[in-house]
Amino acid sequence: MLTASELIRYQKQLKLPEWGIEKQFALKSSHVLVVGAGGLGVAALPYLAAAGIGQISIVDSDVVDLSNLGRQVIYTSAEVGQPKALLAQKYVMNLNPEISVSSFDVKLTSDNAAEFIQKADLVIDCTDNFASRYVINDFCVSLEKPFVYAAIHAWEGLLSVCNALVADGSRTATYRCLFPESPNMSEIPNCDEVGVLGFIPGIMGLLQAKEAIFYLAGFSSPAQGALLRWDARDMSMKHFKVEREANAATNIFPKTSLDEVREIQVDDAFALLDQNLAYILDVRELDEFSIASIPDALQIPMYQIAANVSSLPVHKKCLVMCHHGMRSAHLIRFLQQEKGFTNLYNLSGGIDAWSLKIDPSVPRY
């Protein structure tokens, strides 16, 4: 069951009268998939490992940036530019060599999600964009896997245990029950634009670990079947009961491909531009454009796009760009779904990636 060293390692939690060997073994027998090794993920991972989750898989395609270090505290200044998934794996394995940890330096997509999710007992959604959340939701619902969702916005955090199996055999609400549709363009905050203090994703990621541990050990929680909202300013925490929609199991995998955003890396984008096979549509605000820009880019702020659709060339590939790639992805989805565009590609990493990999003379901000 448990080795001698595990009995020593976990002795404090084993002393809890509600815990015991059987709960600890339940964690040891569990496989948790953590999607995202950013602000939420780096807070959840150490506590999952320290508690004794037997197998952890980490999926993230990002690298450490200097701007991450204010909140992603398992990384160091010397590791800037290195893959987060691999660094997180190393950190967790050093923390608890009793467990098995795998890392995958890839982005979770509709092409590989089933492969990762079907192997896990529970998924922790530590992503920061709507597209990934819907992918996680749809595959978890399809494969009957519970997942722990969290998100942050400025001073607030959201948390819910979705698609969780409860005592009566039913399942809790899904992410699509909470948020049936992705926000429209006017509701989308700037990417990396609202700002956050590092402890907020830290607290929410820690709560994700808590909910995962509770669920796998068989404990109930108010976050199972409810949306928790925490406000750092007044330390309030409220739960909003959410009922599972009757069609939750079938309201997945939208039949249209118009919500799929095709990504293009900056080096591939540079080659297309060099051959005059594409153009850049810069959807950042004017003040951002004045700080950093790419020559010959077509600059139209995101909120003005709908009124200027006719001015967008359709005879070549359109590489849509913002600061880091979130606003541009939402705009692409809007143009594909509402305006029928088929020539759009999201410039992965935005102008920040362009500065890092193509042209260092472009200022970073």
Can you give the residue ranges of every domain in the chain? 4-241, 263-357
Cβ neighbours for 240, distance < 8 A, ≥ 6 positions apart: 226, 227, 228, 229
CATH number attached to the domain at 263-357:
3.40.250.10
What does the pLDDT look like over 95-111, one tens digit per residue? 999 999 999 999 998 88
**Mean pLDDT, rounded, for 337-349:** 90
pLDDT-derived band at 187, boundaries 50, 70, 90: low
Contact 97, 54 (CB under 8 A): no
Q: Which two tokens stand for residue 180?
A: 């049936």
What does the pLDDT look like over 253-272, one tens digit per residue? 765 456 688 999 999 999 99
DSSP 56-74: EEEE---B--GGGTTT-TT
Q: Which two tokens stand for residue 223?
A: 């976050």
Task: Using a pLDDT cut of 70, give the percent of the chain over it.
Answer: 95
- Alpha-carbon span 283 to 305, nearest angstrom: 8
Measured in whole angstroms, how far is the alpha carbon of residue 274 from the centre of its chain? 33
Q: How many alpha carbons lie under 13 Å from residue 133 in its C-beta half-sphere?
A: 22
What does the pLDDT look like over 296-313, one tens digit per residue? 999 999 989 988 998 898
The closest alpha carbon to 346, from 223, 246, 263, belongs to: 263
Do 4-241 and 263-357 agree at the fold level? no
Q: Identify the three-state secondary structure at position 157.
A: strand
**Burial 224-251, CB ≥16 within 10 A → b, else e:** bbbbbebebeeeeeeeeebebeeebeeb
Cβ neighbours for 141, distance < 8 A, ≥ 6 positions apart: 163, 174, 176, 248, 249, 252
Assigned fold of 4-241: Rossmann fold (3.40.50)
The reported pTM is 0.76
Cβ neighbours for 70, distance < 8 A, ≥ 6 positions apart: 198
pLDDT-derived band at 155, boundaries 50, 70, 90: very high
Strands of 80-235, DSSP E = 100-104, 122-125, 147-153, 156-162, 226-231
Q: Identify the three-state secondary structure at position 152.
A: strand
